A and B are shown apart, each in its own frame.
Chain A
Amino acid sequence: MPRVIDADVVRHVARLSRLALTDDEVETMRAELSGILDHVDQIQSLDLAGVAPTTHVIHLENVLRTDEPRPSLSPEEALREAPRVAAGGFSVGRMG
C-alpha cells in the first residue's frame, strides 16, 4: 500500500482532527508521522486474509440497561464547568 505523508495529508488530517497547526508544526508533524508510519507499516505485508478482526478481547454480548430513569444533574451542576453559559445553555459563541 503506497503511502505518502506530505504536508497536504497532514493538513487534511489536522482539519479532520480540528487541530490548528502552524506551517512549522505541519512540517514537524509530517516528519514524525512518517517516522512512526515507517515502523508500523511492517504489518502491511502480513497476509491476514480470513483472520477475524478483534474489537473486544473478552467475548461479551447483550449487556443492556433496563429502561428506568435515573436522576439527572441539576442545570446548575450540568453547566458548572462550562467555559461560557448563556440563557440556561452552553454557549458556543459565534458559529459563523
Chain B
Amino acid sequence: MSAPTDLTATQQIAAVRAGEMTSAELVDAHLARCEDDRWNSYLALNADAARARAREIDAMADKPPLAGVPIAVKDALVTRDLVTTSGSRMLEGFRPLYTATCVARLEEAGAIVVGKTNMDEFAMGSSTENSAYGPTLNPWDTGRVPGGSSGGSASAVAARQAPWSLGSDTGGSIRQPAALCGIVGMKPTYGAVSRYGLIAFASSLDQVGPFARTVADAALLLSYIEGRDPMDSTCVGLREPVCVPTATDLSGVRIGVVEELMGEGTDDGVRAAVREALDRAEHLGATLVPVELPNSRHGLSTYYILAPAECSANLARFDGIRYGHSSADTDNLTEHYERTRAEGFGAEVKRRIMLGTFALASGYYDAYYGQAQRVRTRIAEDFDRAFESVDLIASPTSPSVAFPLASRTDDPMHMYLSDTCTIPISLAGLPSVSIPCGLDAGMPVGLQLSGPAFSENRLFDAAHALEAAIGFDTAPPALEAAA
C-alpha cells in the first residue's frame, strides 16, 4: 500500500471508514510533511488541535462524513483562535474571534484543519512572493513560484502536505496556482460559497474554492462548502447538489475554444499541451467550436480598476485600533493611521490601495470605476452569447508555466499579465476549473474549463472525463528526488 500522503482525499476517507487507517495516522503523516516545510507552504500549523480532533473522531463509532481527513486552509480564511494573517504583517499574531462559514462546515463534516497556508498578502499577487512571510516555492522546481495568490494551498496539495485544501480566487488565485503546481483548482460560480470569514480583497469577485489532486476530490470538497449562508447576503449556493463526477466520455459536449488566448502572448509549450488536451477531448466525443469573446481583451484593465477600488475600501478597516498592527506613540490621528498602514502593508497592497482610491476619487470615478463596471457588463454578455452555442469554454489557465522566483517582481504590469486567461471569467462570475494537461519543459500546464453560471456538475463531469484521458501524474518528480 502507498504512503497515506499519496492517497487522494476520497481514498483516505474510504481507508478510515474501512478501518484500514485511523484519522490520527493520517493527521500525523501529513503533519510530518508540514513540519518539514521546504516549500514554505504553511504560515501556521494546527498540530495539537488537529491531533486531538483526530483522536476524537477515531473514537467515534459513527464517523462524520469526512472521517477526520486533513485539510489545509488558505490564510485568507479566518479560523477561531488559530493565527490568521492573510499573508500580511498587518495581521501578525492575529487570532480571529470566529471561523469562516466554509471552514466551519468542513470541520463539522469531520475534516481536520492541519494548518494555514501561505499566500500573497491579502490575496494580491500571482506568485505568492507578496507574502510578508517569504515566498512559497513550487514543489516541481523550488527555483520557481507556485503561482498565487493561493500559492501555499496549491503547493501543500502538490507536495502531499495535505490531500486537498481551500483557496480563494478573485482573478485567478485558485486556477493559476493549480495550473502552475500541476493539480486541480476550481473557482465556483460567484455566490455558490459563503464569503463570511474570507478576508475580503474584492468583494464582488472573491470566491472560495477547492484544490485537490483529482477532479472528484475537488467536487467532493465543493459539495461540503457550497450553500446558502445567512451571514452572507450575496451567497445563494448552487441550484443542485454537487455530484461526484463519473463521466468517461464527452459525447455531445460542445467546447468553445478561445482562439485569442491560444495565440500570441501564450507560450508555445503551453499552447501545445492545451491543443493536445483538446484533441483528446475530441476523441472523447466533444465538438470543438471556436468562440470569440471580443471584450475579454479589456478584462485586465477592467479588473485592475474594479478589484483595487473594492480593496481600497475593504482594507481601510486595518487601522490599528481593534486588532492588528498599530504604530506606537503617534501624536495625532492622521499620523497614527498613516504610519500604522505604511508599516503594516507591503508594496503591492499599497499600490492597489492607491490605484483603487484614485479610481474612486472625485473627478475620476466615472472615467474609471463607472466605465469599468460597464465593460464588465459587456464581458459578461460575451459569455452569455458564447454559451448559446457551446456548453463549455476552454483555454490555457495561464499563458506560461511557473516562472522563476523574482523574475516579475519588479514589473507589476508583467505580473498582472499572468492572469489574462482567468480574469474575464472572474468578472463574469462563472465557474471554472483548471486541470493539469501536460508539461512544458518539465513544468505543469493547466487547462481551464469554464461553464455558464451554476453549471458546476457539467464542468466537473467534463473535467473528470478529460483527466482520465490525459492521465497526468500529479507527483512532482522533484518531490520523489528529494524524498
Indicate whether A and B are direct neighbours in the complex (CB within 8 Å).
yes
- Which residue of chain A lies nearest to B359 when distances are taken between CB atoms in the complex? A40
**Chain A 31-55 interface residues, beta-carbon cutoff 8 Å to B:** 32-33, 35-37, 39-44, 46, 48, 51-55
Query: Smallest Cβ distance from A52 to chain B, in angstroms?
Result: 6
Tell me whether A87 is interfacial, beta carbon within 8 Å. no
Among A35, A81, A93, A96, the one with the most B-chain Cβ atoms within 10 Å of its Cβ is: A93
Known A55-B373, A83-B326, A92-B321: A13·B361 in contact at CB below 8 Å: yes
Question: Which of chain B's residues 441-474 have a Cβ closer than 8 Å to chain A?
Answer: 453
B337-378: contact bitstring with A at CB < 8 Å (1 yes, 0 no)?
111011001000011011101100100100110111111111
Closest to B336 in A: A93
A46, A57, A96, most chain B CB atoms within 10 A: A57
**In the complex, A29 Cα to B338 Cα: how many Å?**
16
Contact of A32 with B351 in the complex, beta carbons under 8 Å? yes
| Cβ contact within 8 Å between A10 and B354 | yes
* Interface pair A60/B373, CB less than 8 Å apart: no
Question: Which partner residue on chain B sits nearest A81 by CB separation?
Answer: B323
Which of B35-43, B46-54, B135-143, B296-304 interfaces with chain A? B296-304
Q: Shortest Cβ distance from A49 into chain B, in angstroms?
A: 9
A95 closest partner in B (C-beta): B333
**Nearest residue, chain A, Cβ from B375:** A43
| B171 vs chain A, min Cβ distance (A) | 14
Structural contact, A43 and B301, CB atoms closer than 8 A: yes
Are A80 and B95 in contact (CB-based, < 8 A)? Answer: yes
Beta-carbon contact of B377 and A54 below 8 Å: yes
Point out the residues of chain A lying under 8 angstroms from B189, CB to CB: 58
Contact present for A60 and B380 (CB under 8 Å):
no
| Other-chain residue from A39, A54, A90 in contact with B321 (beta carbon distance below 8 A) | A90
B298/A39 in contact, CB under 8 A? no
Q: Across the interface, do A18 and B341 meet the contact criterion of CB distance under 8 Å?
A: yes
Are the CB atoms of A92 and B336 closer together than 8 Å?
Answer: yes
A-B contact count (CB 8 A): 171
The answer, yes or no, to whether B191 is at the interface (CB within 8 Å) is: yes
B304, B354, B364 interface centre (most CB from chain A within 10 Å)? B354
- Are the C-beta atoms of A44 and B321 separated by less than 8 Å? no
Expressed in whole angstroms, the Cα–Cα distance for A65 and B95 within the complex equals: 28
Closest chain B residue to A38, Cβ basis: B413
B 286-323 binary contact with A (CB < 8 Å = 1; else 0): 00000000000010111011000000100010011111
In the complex, which residues of chain B have a beta carbon less than 8 angstroms from the beta carbon of A57? 190-191, 204, 380, 427-429, 453
Whole-angstrom CA separation of A13 from B20 in the bound complex: 60
Are B413 and A83 in contact (CB-based, < 8 A)?
Answer: no
Residues in chain B near residue A3, CB distance under 8 A = 364, 367
B357–A53 touching, CB < 8 Å: no
Closest CB in chain B relative to A93 CB, distance in Å: 6
Is B2 among interface residues, defined by CB-CB distance under 8 A? Answer: no
B429 touches A58 (CB 8 A): yes
Do the beta carbons of B305 and A40 come within 8 Å of each other?
yes
**Minimal beta-carbon separation of B362 from chain A (angstroms):** 10
A56-93 interface bits toward B, Cβ cutoff 8 Å, 1 = contact, 0 = none:
11101001010000000100011011111000001011
Residue B233 CB within 8 A of the other chain: yes
Chain A residue at minimum C-beta to C-beta distance from B351: A32
Query: Are A18 and B377 in contact, CB atoms less than 8 angstroms apart?
Result: no
Q: CA separation between A44 and B353, bound complex, in Å?
A: 21
22 contacts between A and B (CB under 8 A): A16-B361, A19-B342, A19-B354, A20-B339, A29-B350, A35-B412, A35-B413, A36-B304, A40-B301, A41-B301, A48-B375, A51-B377, A57-B190, A58-B189, A60-B234, A60-B236, A63-B234, A73-B97, A83-B321, A95-B332, A96-B332, A96-B333
B residues bordering A, Cβ < 8 Å? 94-95, 97, 189-191, 204, 230, 233-234, 236, 298, 300-302, 304-305, 312, 316, 319-326, 329-339, 341-342, 345, 350-351, 353-355, 357-358, 361, 364, 367-368, 370-378, 380, 412-413, 416, 427-429, 453
7 shortest A-B CB distances, which residue pairs? A96-B332, A57-B429, A53-B373, A83-B326, A81-B323, A20-B338, A18-B337
Having A33-B355, A48-B378, A92-B321, one finds 14 other A-B pairs with CB under 8 Å, namely A9-B358, A29-B350, A39-B304, A39-B413, A43-B301, A44-B371, A52-B374, A58-B190, A60-B236, A73-B97, A82-B321, A92-B333, A95-B333, A96-B332
